[in-house]
Amino acid sequence: MIKVYRKTATIKAEQFDGSQTSLFGYEVMPDSLLDALTGEPAYYSILIDDFEPEPDDFPDDNEVSFEIGDWIVNEADEIKVMADEEFKKQYAELPVIPKVWGDTIEEFKTNRYRLDEMFTEWDWNYDEQELIARAWLDGYTVEGRK
């Protein structure tokens, strides 16, 4: 029987807009091929390893190429490139919540309370409850933090 699964690990990702000089600590290098309309490089790349390739390896095995608008994803210490549409189908951004909500979630989890106890103690509207439940289950980022 086929079952449906979801990924639960968080990733780090950055959409390349052409202005970045480094991604995940790797230097961005413009390709020599220029876009005919803008005169800017059409493609960019990063070298993800500093080792000498084996003689039977292709010389570009450690180079990741991308263009403006692509997402550079660091998942389980593997760097990969995804087009914007593909990225948005596979990943959802963690919810952004106020610090007081994050502190409350951490307090309730530390004291081994259930999520429903948090909802009965505070006066939450439906949208807030949904956001809190997502943050409780999947993780979150706090407003104003980068």
Q: What is the DSSP string of 114-131?
A: -HHHHHHHS---HHHHHH
pLDDT for residue 55: 53
For residue 81, give both structure tokens. 């490139």
Query: How confident is the model over 33-45, as a mean pLDDT?
Result: 81
Query: Tokens 């660091």 map to which residue?
Result: 74
**Long-range CB contact pairs, 138-142, < 8 A, 24+:** 138/8, 138/10, 138/94, 138/95, 139/10, 139/94, 140/94, 140/95, 140/96, 140/97, 140/102, 140/105, 141/94, 141/95, 141/96, 141/97, 142/96, 142/97, 142/98, 142/99, 142/102
pLDDT at 61 over 70: no
With a threshold of 0.75, does the pTM exceed it? no
Share of the chain above pLDDT 70, in %: 87
pLDDT per residue as tens digits for the range 67-125: 999 999 998 888 999 999 999 988 888 899 999 999 999 999 999 999 999 888 888 88
Q: Can you give the residue ranges of every domain in the chain?
A: 12-90, 96-142
Tell me the one-letter amino acid at 75.
E
